[in-house]
Amino acid sequence: MAAQTAPSAGVDSGSRLDVPTAASPATKDAPVQDSAAQDKPRPVRTRPQKPNYFLIHSKPLPLETHPLPAFVPQNPLSLLRIAYIYLSQLISSPSSHRDEPITGIFSSETRSVHITDHASARALWEMGFFGKGTMSRSEPSWLDREKARLKANKHGGGTAEENTRRRREERKLFKLERARAEAEQIEETLRRERTALDTVNSDKDEDKATEIAISHVFPWMQQQESNADTIHTTGILNNTAIAEREEEEEAPITNQEHLQLNLEESFFLSYALGSLQILDSNTKQPLSTSSLLTLFRQHSHFPTAQISSLHPDDPFLLNYVVYHHYRSLGWVVRPGVKFSCDFLLYNRGPVFSHAEFALIIIPEYAERSIETAEGKGKMGWWWLHCVNRVQSQVKKSLVIVYVKVPKELPSVEEGEADIGRIMRSYEVREFVIRRWLANRSRD
């Protein structure tokens, strides 16, 4: 290198020895270290990779959209492409719904609509987070969890809950087997004592009496035999349990979970989007939107109300007006009974972030009569402070949604225009309430 052969100031170049410096070996060995570092195996990822939720939940609603391509000013041919696609869609407009409509069955016992088809259930959850699994906390994931559990049992692993459950079952089986062995041992001891008394009194079988005496003097011999029998029996039971478990793992798994939709979600999917067809549980015939409106209004009361006793301030109407309002604004609306509210508002969905707002619905009457003043809509400050304290602890903003209730509803006939008139007769006002803290609000 030039830095190594150049002579220093005041030293003869002919007498200078070209001794390699300390940097030369390090530079020479650098490629060897780099190759060794490259050959070193990378650490194995222990935590499974999370699914791509942005790709799974890319569609906010269970509808297919067909947008026009973007116009590029630098490329005039893009205008021809836009015109071609527009004319093709104008001549033969593509459908926004699936080829096979989603079908649900209304259940008057649970006051909800059940989706039994697994593909339809996944589609409703992935496109808008509608409903909940009947055997899950939120997402219908029972089938995946069951497959993971059986796979973990087959390979001897599993989650902490599965290992704890397995240990409890084995401990329970051991205790039952130990109790049975102790009971048999006590019974055998009593039988031998009775036999010994009979033999000593009759004095007919001296050898047997001697054996019984030896057994009383050396009881550990019989204890070993009893323990051996117990271990043998336990081994047989364990082998039987393992065989049954292997047969269960080899058998195909049937999905036993349904997607459960509440009344507001069901009516929104059926009336507003047209993506859901609801069947009657008895006749298995599809129900019209006007019939669904009356049916859901009846089942929003407990016990189920009669048609003659329905009013404009039915719980279903109040809840659906608020649900439709925020769904139309792009929010993901989920039930909020867990946090002492009516609904929760998510920006994109539960898998992306926590809910930002908690909704409390309060009816507002145009002319308050004595009945309405003493009934719905009367809530005190103590109740409001309790709810607001809960929302502040879970870091959510409390929103009071006032729904103005009309005096009477227009008549509902066969057709969606009349239902639209009913929904337009309600008004929604919202107020955000935050907890006042003296330490944070000082000047």
CB–CB of 152/159 below 8 Å? yes
The one catalytic residue in 354, 385, 404, 407 is 354
- Looking up tokens 């973990």, which residue turns up? 152
Tokens 């066969």 sit at which residue?
Answer: 414
366 to each of 52, 324, 386, 429, how far by Cα in Å?
49, 22, 28, 14
d(CA 345, CA 363): 19
Q: Would you state the structure tokens that stand for residue 270, as one six-digit string?
A: 């059926």
Whether 84 is catalytic: no
Q: Which amino acid is at 266?
A: S
Choosing from 323, 326, 346, 365, the catalytic residue is 346
Which residue is catalytic, options 114, 258, 299, 396?
396
First to last CA, the chain: 71
Residue matched to tokens 């349904």: 258
Assess whether 57 carries a catalytic annotation: no
User: Which of 108, 114, 131 shows the shortest CA–CA distance to 302?
Assistant: 108
Q: Which two three-digit tokens encode residue 234?
A: 């336990």
Question: Closest by alpha carbon to 396, among 355, 338, 350?
Answer: 355
Residue 328 · residue 368 · CB < 8 Å = no
Structure tokens that stand for 251 in this block: 């058998």
Nearest alpha carbon to residue 64 among 273, 272, 327, 329? 273
Active site positions, annotated: 346, 354, 396
